[in-house]
Structure formats: C-alpha cells, structure tokens
A and B are shown apart, each in its own frame.
Chain A
Amino acid sequence: MNGVTRRRLLKGAGATLGALAFAKAVEPVLDFTSELSGDEFLQRHYRELSPEDMREVLARLEAETKEKYGAEVTIRDIRPQEGVQFGYALNLSLCIGCRRCAEACHVENNHDRKTHQSYIRVLEMQQGSIDMEHGDATYDHPVPQPGRYYMPVQCQQCDNAPCVKVCPVEATWKEQDGIVVVDYNWCIGCRYCEAACPYHARRFNWEAPEISAEEINPNQSYLSNRIRPQGVVEKCTFCLHRTRTGALPACLEACPTGARVFGNLLDPNSEIRWVLENKRVFVLKEELGARPRFFYFFDV
C-alpha cells in the first residue's frame, strides 16, 4: 500500500513537472498571441463580411498599422468594376532588364525592405532560347547585354489558376475582373499555392515585413498593398488599388521603354486588345493549361 502511494506521489510530481516544463517550452507563443486581437482571430472570410463588418475591419487594420508601423494610412476595400477584364502584355523586344518595374512594385506594394521583395522577377535570357533553364535573375551588370534578352515574370492572373484550385481554405480566388487575390487575414500559410504556381508568382511572409513609417505608401487596399501579416502568402494584384480606380499599375508607369501594355480586355479600342489582335503574342508554359492573362510578344 505504501508503495502504491509513493508511486502515485511520484506520478503526480512527474505530471506536474511535465506540465510546467511544457508551459515553459511553449512560452514564446505568448508573444505571438498577445499581439493577436480576438477580433482578428475570429474575423470571417472576405466574402462573408458585410459592409458594416468591412468598415470595422478596415478601421482596425488602419489602427494596427498606426500602432505597429507608426504610419497614417488609408485602407480601402475596392471592388471590381462592371464590364472590365484586366489583361497585361509585355514586349520582350523592348524590355532592357533595368528592373525599374520590380523596384516600383517594391515601393508601391509596401514590401519588406530587408529582403527587397517584389512581385516581379526579371530573368536575363539567352538569345536563341526561351528555356528559362538559361535564365538568370541575379545579374548585376549594365543592361541590355549583347546576346541577351530580358523577361520579367510576375503573376499571370491565370483564368484556370492552379493556385486557386489547391487552396484548402479558399483564401485565394479569382475576382470578377480577372485578378487573383488573397485574403491575408484568412490564409493559413500552408504554401500549397506556392508549390502549385508554375510562374513563381507567390511570396510567403517568412517574417513580419519591416518598413519604416516614412517609406510606407499610405494609399492601401484590403486585397492588395496593405502591409501583410507574418506567415501568409501574397502576390501581384495588378495594383488593384490603382487599376480599379482607372489608373495604370505601378510597374507599367515605371517602365522606361513602354514594353508594358495594360488595359481592359473587353474594350475593343483598348491598347491591350490591339496588341493581342495584331502582335504575335504567346503565354509562358501554355502547355500547362493555366490560361494566363499575361502575354509576351516580340516586335518584328
């Protein structure tokens, strides 16, 4: 009997010790949860938010940006326009690989400053080959180089998007105007979309983005360039906070050669329609059947 009580005592002590050790081991999580508000934790999916909910969410996000980054920003929820389908085309004969587009994206979309993140990767390609095997995104010499051409790659806003298909929680979807968006407050960070995307268009927030208050672009929207939380996936949104109000995307404005053409695919008089109907356009990796809305072409 005595042996039994002693054993129970030991078991009890062991269990208590174990529980204490466990509490100590997972203590760092408290730092994470203390920054997480209950409203954020319980927030519904973007498509389930009423206009009233959305107002509250936007106000909360603006306040959080003020608190964490010290910047006054305006975050809007901009919806697609009727009768608009966005498309993009890029002239490989004109592109000189200067990375002005990648830089403009970096600034416009409030990317992490430390990693110099951007949704655009410019590949220096080998003349005579369209195989990206010979491409190099890390070049750092005067451009254009002889025997090279340059191919910027960003989200192709596919009509049959593999990333949308694989998301287990519908945190990413294709909007009415053709832009594939992510609800940064719904994404669980499994990165299946990153594995599925054939164009390396998605980026993961490995850490919380770092950006100083004066560098923040205050013109923000919920689905595009607001500062992303840690641990979620993000992507190019054709700058929807600009384009849905009729403005051109930042990467196009930055292009010094006019290699980029953007517009409404449903407008027969648009520049993009002229390019699609009069240039020999092609899409990357067409055989995969993702049906991109981002086209490439060469001049004669």
Chain B
Amino acid sequence: MATRANSAKQDRPRHWVSYPRFLWRSLRLATDGSWTFYAWMTLLTAIALVGANAWANQVTTGMGLTGMSDHVSWGLYIANFTFAVGLAAGGVMMVIPAYLYHDEEMHDVVIVGELLAVAALVLALGFVVADLGRPDRFWHLLPGIGRFNWPLSMLTWDVVVLNGYLLLNLHICGYLLYMRFLGRKPNPRWYIPFVFLSVFWAISVHTVTAFLYSGLGGRPFWNSALLAPRFLASAFVTGPAFIILTLQILKRFTTFRVPDGPIQTLLKIMRITVLINLFMAGAEVFTEFYTGSSHVAAAKYLYFGLHGGSALVPWIWSALALNLFVVVVLYTPRFYEKRAVLNAALVAAFAGVWIEKGMGLIVPGFVPSTLHELVEYVPTLTEWKVTAGLWAVGLMVFTIALKVALPIFSGEVGVGASLTDADDVEAEPAPAE
C-alpha cells in the first residue's frame, strides 16, 4: 500500500481541484455496484420507507401509537439508542490495538471500526429523534439558537459527546481516505492526536449515556455506579462481534484483503469482555436479591415477574442464555474453530446484548413506576416499524461508507491508480455465488 506514496511527484496538491474530485469519485463509488449491491440497497430502502411512513404517522397522530405510557415513558427507541451508542463505542476496540499496540494488520482494517462508529452514531441520533414528541422543535436543542441546558442536563452532554464523536470519526476517516486517494502518506500530525482523542471519547460516549440513567435517584434499578462499566463491557462485546461478522462478509463479497490476525485479536477481546459483562450483571443481581430491599422489585419483575406481570421474563432469560452460549463457544476450540458455530455465537452476542440493554435495562427502570405501580410495556407495530426502518438506514450508511472507503483505502481507486475508465476500475462486490 505504501507504494502509492511515491505519487508525491505532484509537489503541492491543489486541494480545490482534488477535493471535489475526491467527493465526486466517492459519490460514484457509493451509487455504482453489482446487482447484489443494488438488491441489498433496495431491500434496505424498502424497509427504511416502511419505517419513515410509520414515523410520519407517529408524528401526526401522536406518540399514542407507541406502547409507551406515563408509567413506562421510554421504550424500544431509547433501548435501541443505548445499544447503538454502545456499538459506536465498540468500534474503538479496533483502534486501540491498531494505534496503541501498533498492530500492523489491524491498521489495514481499522477503518471498518471507525466507519461502524459513524453509522452507529447516525443510528443513535435517529432513535433520539424518533423518540421526540415534537421533532419539529429539534432546533431548541441547538446551542446558540435554542436553549442548551449544559452542563446540568446529562442529555446535553450526550448531544455534545455523540456529535463530537461523529465529527471526530468523520474527520479521521475522511482525512485518511483523502490522503489515500491522493496517494500521499497521511501526516500523523493531522490524525494521530485525533485517534488518541477518539479512544477516550469512545469511552466517554458510553459513560455519558450510562450517566443519563444512573444519575436518576428516583429509578433505583438504574441508580447504580456499575451501570457505566456494564455499558462499556457490553459495548466491547457487540462492537467486536459486529466487526468480525462484517470482516467475514467483506472477505466473501469484496476483493478487500482481510487478514486473519485482526479477527483473532477481536475474538480475544470478546473472550474477556463477555465474561466481565456477565460477571457485572451477576454482581448486580446478587446485590439486589440478597439485600432484598424494596428496590429489588424491578429486578424481581425482570427475572421472575411480579404481581402476575411477566412481560420481560422471556426476554431476559433468552438474553442470559445467548450470552452463556457465547461464553461456551468462545472458550471451546472445538466450537469456535468451526466458522458456522462461531458466527452463530457472534450473532448471539449481538442479540443477547441488544436484549440485555434494551428490554432488560431501559424498560425495567420504569417497572414498577415511581409510585410502585406495575404497568407493563409491549412495543407496538409502529415502534417495530420505525426501529426496523432506522436500522435499515444505519446499515445503508454503513454499506455506503464501506463501499466508498474500502477501494480508496486499499489503493484501488485514487489519483495514483490507473484511471482510464472511471466506471470500471473500482472494486465491485463479487456477485453472490
């Protein structure tokens, strides 16, 4: 890859010419592809449209279309928001080995983690907007024109760190890609400080999101110092799991070179984090149940049901089962050496944490309510549609980002590459077999 660096024969690049070209090429890369690519994007578009329609109805008719109530005032949207922030933070688990431990192979694929962060942040912000009763007043949140209750409100901290993390990752990815496009060696001054900043920022993104809940004294289920560490541990399960799956898909459908080293490194990380996550969940369960104070009500409701209400019981036990399955697979060579079993475990890790953080964490914070009333929450079809739609948008962002970035990153597209016919050189995903 370093061979591209010799194109320094253009002494000073004229950015006002080359940057628009870079953007134009990116746009071309984003919209041109194989039939598999078109089919995939069409599918995502269709799901996104269903979601957009459901959201439009929700804005017009009111949040009454959701299963939320004054007792359970946050539901599927905020659950997904929390999970998406974790996914974004989890992307950093590639950055740390790549830059802190100088893992050269990881360097080649670290861009995948950063792009995942970008897509996951778009997803997280989308879920916040979906949850607003008055999205038309979104501008009230903008510092300067609106009234930004910073530093008192943790939600404003979240707005700051999420957008900051988004910009940070956009800058790092954008800079590295542009340099590759020009065929120049990136100047460490322009990205290394930001990479290190993004490591801390990733931690803080999820910490602040946890503080959003753990700072509420009236909700004993959340009001625990362990919430932020738990969030991070679970984020570092889902991030690597998703990236390993992505790398395998890339290996199969594109010409992008995916070495095995990073996958092994990420699996090593997962082996630790999945245990830490389960350990901390266990520590909380012990504290709640052994103490047996009235604060145990939410945990009781979650794990065993209370007063005959048991809507969350199947969710949490499947989450536990999925997590345990992951542990078994990750620690048994016989299993993890089989690709299919390993991949099943990765999907299980993803799903397990999704449940644990969503239905297993956000909802029981409201059940029983602050007056100890027990109102159950079941998401409505509208909520499922909007959620699916937003995930489709997130995947679209991720797909397009990879579609643009990988050919440039691997040097297949750029001013250094032979650009005889712009339409045919780029790395197209091979059609499915």
Contact = CB atoms under 8 A, between A and B. Distances in A.
The answer on direct contact between A and B (beta carbons under 8 Å) is yes
Interface of A: 4, 7, 11, 14, 18, 21-22, 24-29, 31-33, 36, 41, 45, 121, 123, 131-133, 135, 137, 153, 162, 165-171, 186-192, 194-200, 202-208, 229-233, 285, 288-290
Given A21-B45, A290-B218, 11 more contacts: A14-B42, A26-B56, A123-B371, A162-B216, A162-B217, A167-B149, A192-B212, A195-B366, A196-B218, A200-B370, A202-B70
Nearest to A184: B134
Interface string B390-433: 00000000000000000000000000000000010000000000
Given A162-B216, A162-B217, A153 B133 contact: no
A28 B218 contact: no
Given A169-B141, A207-B62, A131 B31 contact: no
A36 B59 CA distance: 12
Interface string B131-143: 1111111101100
Nearest to B138: A188
B62 A230 contact: yes
B155 interface: yes
8 contacts: A32-B59, A36-B136, A165-B152, A189-B63, A190-B128, A195-B366, A203-B70, A285-B218
Contact of A230 (B133, B135, B215): B133
A82 B238 CA distance: 56
Contacts of B366: 195
A30 to B, nearest CB: 8
A219 B372 CA distance: 35
Counting chain A CB atoms within 10 Å of each CB, the highest count among B49, B294, B373 belongs to B373
A208 B136 contact: no
A116 B373 CA distance: 18
Contact of B57 (A28, A200, A205): A28
Contact of B148 (A135, A169, A230): A169
Nearest to A32: B60
A200 B136 CA distance: 26
Nearest to A165: B152
Contacts of B131: 190-191
Interface residues of B, number: 64
Given A165-B152, A165-B153, A31 B60 contact: yes
A227 to B, nearest CB: 14
Interface string B16-48: 000000000000000110000010001001000
A206 B219 contact: no
A133 B70 contact: no
Nearest to A194: B73
Counting chain A CB atoms within 10 Å of each CB, the highest count among B61, B63, B140 belongs to B140
B371 A192 contact: no
Contacts of B70: 194, 200, 202-204
A180 to B, nearest CB: 14
Contacts of A169: 137, 140-141, 146-149
B203 interface: no
A22 B52 contact: yes
Contacts of B62: 205-208, 230-231
Nearest to B424: A4
Contacts of B52: 22, 25-26
B155 A131 contact: no
Interface in B349-379: 365-366, 368-373
B133 A188 contact: yes
Contacts of A11: 31-32
B372 to A, nearest CB: 4
B297 interface: yes
B248 interface: no
Nearest to B152: A165
Given A162-B217, A168-B153, A198 B147 contact: no
Interface in B159-209: 159
A27 B366 CA distance: 34
Nearest to B365: A195
Contacts of B224: none
Contacts of B55: 26
A41 B370 contact: no
B156 interface: yes
A188 B147 contact: no
Given A169-B147, A204-B70, A135 B372 contact: yes
Given A167-B149, A169-B147, A190-B132, A28 B59 contact: yes
Given A27-B56, A132-B372, A168 B133 contact: no
Given A11-B31, A21-B49, A168-B155, A289 B217 contact: yes
A116 B240 CA distance: 49
B254 interface: no
Nearest to B54: A25
